[in-house]
């Protein structure tokens, strides 16, 4: 029976389903980077490439090692050696890709991901399979399989804890992608794909003409160019392969205060905009100038502030979030000189929340903050306004320790 | 002996053992962040726990060479030489573990030594039944242990490659692997 023979001859066909069970265990036991963001679910499922890629590399080495031991590739064939080698390798790659998609389904994804996210892990499987195939075709099975498996595994996991931080983007193992305000940076995809394509081309050239110095030199040149291109593409990225999200925000204006949220928080837009407007009105009674817009995206103007919340946040959580958002940002001078007002932040944050009247300002705060702000709130509005103005001014610079009312 | 050493690829085998020893000695105490399948993100595994596999791959390669049917009927004690050869190569890697123990952490060096002996014994045991898998099984065991054998501070009973040096069960696994290696290789000789 052809199918039975095929399955018996291809250990990847029965071993990769076992690996699939393991990766399902993996994705189900560890939450995505942001469990309310569809892209994060996809990235979580696709991060199983760190295990499936090395397994595919090991099986590719096994398959090509068998062909090498039987001298099949050197024998006169009706089909070209490339096609003979490609048949088992395509089965390995296909099984690994399928296992990755099963892991994605196990996470519970919705919608389709961008190609920028899909391309890198799928390309990584292809590249590692090519490396395994080259090892299998050139060295003994006893060495090729463990070296392909272990080497690929270390390539996948070592950069995660190594510097420079952008090195990890080249592997296609993007487990830290993406929180709700970010999306995959195209540069990361380009970098990973350049490395993958260079590896595939290098291995392909070496497989086709192993004993030619010219081909070997060309293959190494291709690899070096691909690696350099990959590095140039990702080297300006931080620890995550992301950029600010480009989607359209959903906005609503209440009493001149605009609130903008990501589509995932569409259901909370009305409540958020009401809370933002109520908070802004409350702060105005103390003479403060509230922002004109609260956005989950990147702030585009000084009068806009960035805030964030989870989809299951309560109204009190929203009030705390918009209050913390209006704290003065870290001043530039603090990078080079002392910032005496830094410890005012929790006091001002608690006062801002209390001033909105929408939430308990003190859950989890230190007793000193709670006592001080409680005492402050019992004073006349004018005194509170003066304190708040002084605190905001002090936090915005490095010249003053701010009002004495603390601790 | 000269020819036997050549057939057993002593340069490649010794080279891999030296590389393994250098890796263990120089970087054995450094943690390699490895994702765990049981949740909890990345867990650091000392390089000394994994680096001995380089030497074991060299050992498997060296012992696979030669005609084993001829060796089985040889007048010379080839089996004994193979055992001594494996012991010497393992000893080279153990020297790296000693350096790691002296310069980095005694516990990490000791655990690295345990893993070196365990991987080598497992390699020899598997080699008696399936020579091509001799190095695959220790490598797969090490990866499986690092990926699935730990959850927080808890180490599964079978995950000896990532257990701390003071874990008695992990040493028991190594003893079992050694006994299996001796028994399985002796059995083949009788045949």
SS3 (DSSP) at B8: coil
**pLDDT score at B40:** 61
Tell me which chain B residue has its CA closest to the CA of residue A62.
B132
**pLDDT score at A143:** 92
Alpha carbon distance A38, A117 (integer Å)? 12
Residues of B in contact with A146 (CB under 8 A): 53, 57, 60, 135-136, 138-139
**pLDDT score at A1:** 52
> Pick the residue with more confidence: B179 or A162?
B179
| Residue B142: both structure tokens together | 């090490």
Tell me which chain A residue has its CA closest to the CA of residue B64.
A142
- Does A153 contact chain B (CB < 8 Å)? yes
- Say what percent of chain A tops pLDDT 70: 98
**pLDDT score at A290:** 86
Tell me phi and psi for residue A395, to 5 degrees: -70, -25
| Residue A167: both structure tokens together | 């090195």
Q: What's the longest Cα–Cα distance across chain A? A: 97
Residues 6+ apart with CB under 8 A from A84: A67, A72, A73, A77
Alpha carbon distance A54, A97 (integer Å)? 13
- Say what percent of chain A tops pLDDT 90: 26
Candidates B139, B148, B152, B161: best to mutate against A (most CBs of A within 10 A) is B139
Within 10 Å of residue B47's Cβ, how many Cβ atoms?
22
Within 10 Å of residue A35's Cβ, how many Cβ atoms?
13
**pLDDT score at A60:** 94
Alpha carbon distance B30, B48 (integer Å)? 8
For chain B, the residues whose C-beta falls within 8 A of a C-beta of chain A are 31-35, 37-42, 44, 50, 53, 57, 60-61, 64, 131-136, 138-140, 143, 147-148
Nearest Cβ partner for A22 among B37, B42, B60: B37
- Average pLDDT of chain A, as a whole number: 86
Alpha carbon distance A331, A398 (integer Å)? 8
Ranges A402-406, B23-27, B64-68, B179-183: which has the least confidence: A402-406
Residues 6+ apart with CB under 8 A from A123: A172, A192, A193, A196, A197
- Does A157 contact chain B (CB < 8 Å)? yes
SS in 3 state form for chain A? CHHHHHHHHCHHHHHHHHHHHHHHHHHHHCCCCCCCCHHHHHHHHHCCHHHHHHHHHHHHHHHHHHHHHCCCCCCCCCCCHHHHHHHHHHHHHHHHHHHHHHHHHHHCCCCCCCHHHHHHHHHHHHHHHHHHHHHHHHCCHHHHHHHHHHHHHHHHHHHHHCCCHHHHHHHCCCCCCCCCCEEECHHHHHHHHHHHHHHHHHHHHHHHCCCCHHHHHHHHHHHHHHHHHHHHHHCCCCCCCEEECCCCCEEEEECCEEEEECHHHHHHHHHHHHHHHHHHHHHHCCCCCCCCEEECCCCCCCCEEECCCCCCCCHHHHHHHHHHHCCCCCCHHHHCCCCCCHHHHHHHHHHHHHHHCCCCCCCCCCHHHHHHHHHHHCCCHHHHHHHHHHHHHHHCCCCCCCCCCCC
Residues A277, A283, A286, A292, CA torsion sign: negative
* Residue-wise pLDDT tens digits, A148-182: 999 999 999 888 877 888 999 999 988 888 888 88
Residues 6+ apart with CB under 8 A from B130: none
Within 10 Å of residue A209's Cβ, how many Cβ atoms?
13
- Does A239 contact chain B (CB < 8 Å)? no
Are the Cβ atoms of A145 and B134 closer than 8 angstroms? Answer: no
SS3 (DSSP) at B155: strand
Enter the ipTM.
0.86
Instruction: Give the containing element (helix H, strand E) for B154.
Output: strand B154-155
SS in 3 state form for B16-80? HHHHHHHHHHHHCCCEEEEECCCCCCEEEEEHHHHCHHHHHHHHHHHHHCCCHHHHHCCCCCHHH
**pLDDT score at B191:** 45
A291 has pLDDT over 50: yes
- Say if residues A70 and A137 touch (Cβ distance below 8 Å): no
* Residue-wise pLDDT tens digits, A42-71: 888 898 898 899 999 999 999 999 888 888
- Does A15 contact chain B (CB < 8 Å)? no
**pLDDT score at A407:** 45
Distance from CA of A26 to the nearest CA of B (A): 4
Cα separation values, B41 from A157, A175, A360, B38, B71, Å: 12, 10, 34, 9, 49
Tell me which chain B residue has its CA closest to the CA of residue A141.
B132
List A residues 244-273 in contact with B (Cβ-Cβ < 8 A).
none
**pLDDT score at A91:** 87
SS3 (DSSP) at B151: strand
Are the Cβ atoms of A150 and B64 closer than 8 angstroms? Answer: no
Distance from CA of B191 to the nearest CA of A (A): 24
Are the Cβ atoms of B136 and A145 closer than 8 angstroms? Answer: yes
Are the Cβ atoms of B136 and A146 closer than 8 angstroms? Answer: yes
Q: Are strands A293-295 and A257-261 parallel, antiparallel or unpaired?
A: parallel
Q: Report residue B89 CA to chain centroid gap.
A: 10
A217 has pLDDT over 60: yes
Global pTM value: 0.84
Residue B163, strand partner residues = none
| Residue B85: both structure tokens together | 């050869």
Are the Cβ atoms of B139 and A146 closer than 8 angstroms? Answer: yes
Most confidently modeled range among A294-303, B96-105, B144-153, B171-180: B171-180
Instruction: Classify residue A172 as left (phi > 0), alpha (psi -120 to 50) or beta.
Output: left
Alpha carbon distance A150, B23 (integer Å)? 15
> Pick the residue with more confidence: A294 or A109?
A294
Alpha carbon distance A29, A23 (integer Å)? 10
């Amino acid at each position: 029976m052809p199918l039975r023979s095929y399955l018996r001859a291809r250990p990847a066909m029965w071993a990769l389903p076992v690996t699939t069970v393991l990766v399902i265990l993996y994705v189900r036991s560890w939450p995505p980077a942001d469990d309310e963001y569809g892209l994060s679910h996809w990235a979580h499922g696709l991060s199983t490439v760190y295990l499936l890629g090395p397994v595919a590399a090991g099986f590719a080495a096994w398959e090509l090692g068998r062909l090498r031991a039987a001298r099949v590739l050197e024998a006169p064939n009706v089909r070209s050696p490339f096609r003979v080698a490609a048949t088992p390798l395509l089965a390995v790659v296909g099984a690994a890709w399928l296992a990755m998609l099963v892991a994605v389904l196990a996470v519970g994804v919705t919608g389709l991901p961008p190609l920028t996210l899909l391309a890198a892990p799928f390309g990584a499987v292809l590249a590692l399979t090519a490396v395994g195939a080259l090892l299998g075709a050139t060295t003994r099975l006893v060495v090729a399989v463990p070296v392909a498996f272990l080497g690929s595994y270390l390539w996948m996991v070592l950069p995660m804890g190594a510097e420079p931080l952008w090195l990890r983007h080249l592997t296609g193992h993007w487990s830290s992608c993406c929180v709700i305000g970010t999306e995959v940076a195209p540069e990361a995809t380009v970098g990973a794909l350049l490395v993958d394509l260079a590896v595939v081309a290098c291995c392909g050239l070496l497989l086709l003409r192993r004993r030619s110095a010219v081909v070997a030199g060309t293959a190494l040149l291709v690899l070096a160019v691909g690696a350099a291109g990959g590095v140039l593409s990702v080297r300006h990225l931080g620890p995550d392969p992301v950029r600010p999200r480009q989607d359209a925000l959903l906005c609503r204006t209440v009493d001149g205060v605009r609130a903008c949220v990501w589509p995932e928080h569409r259901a909370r837009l009305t409540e958020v905009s009401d809370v933002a407007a109520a908070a802004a009105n409350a702060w105005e009674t103390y003479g403060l100038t509230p922002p004109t817009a609260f956005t989950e995206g990147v702030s585009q103007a000084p009068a806009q502030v960035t805030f964030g919340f989870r989809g299951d946040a309560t109204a009190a959580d929203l009030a705390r979030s918009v209050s913390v958002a209006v704290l003065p940002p870290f001043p530039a001078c603090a990078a080079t000189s002392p910032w005496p007002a830094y410890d005012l932040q929790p006091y001002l944050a608690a006062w801002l929340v209390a001033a909105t009247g929408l939430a308990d300002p003190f859950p989890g705060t230190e007793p000193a903050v709670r006592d001080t702000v409680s005492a402050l709130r019992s004073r006349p509005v004018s005194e509170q306004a003066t304190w708040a103005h002084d605190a905001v001014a002090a936090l915005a610079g490095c010249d003053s320790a701010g009002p004495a009312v603390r601790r | 002996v000269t020819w036997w050493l050549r057939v057993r690829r002593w340069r490649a085998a010794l080279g891999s053992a030296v590389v393994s020893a250098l890796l263990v000695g120089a970087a054995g105490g450094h943690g390699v962040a490895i994702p765990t399948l049981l949740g909890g993100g990345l867990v650091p595994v000392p390089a000394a726990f994994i680096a001995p596999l380089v030497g074991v791959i060299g050992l498997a390669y060296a012992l696979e060479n030669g005609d084993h049917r001829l060796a089985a009927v040889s007048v010379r004690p080839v089996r004994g030489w193979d055992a001594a050869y494996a012991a010497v190569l393992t000893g080279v890697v153990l020297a790296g573990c000693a350096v790691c123990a002296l310069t980095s952490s005694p516990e990490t060096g000791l655990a690295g030594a345990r893993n070196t002996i365990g991987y080598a014994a497992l390699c020899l045991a598997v080699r008696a039944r399936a020579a091509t898998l001799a190095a695959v099984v220790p490598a797969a065991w090490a990866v499986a242990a690092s990926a699935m054998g730990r959850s927080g501070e808890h180490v599964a009973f079978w995950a000896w490659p990532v257990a701390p040096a003071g874990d008695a069960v992990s040493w028991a696994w190594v003893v079992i692997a050694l006994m299996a290696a001796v028994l399985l290789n002796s059995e083949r000789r009788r045949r």
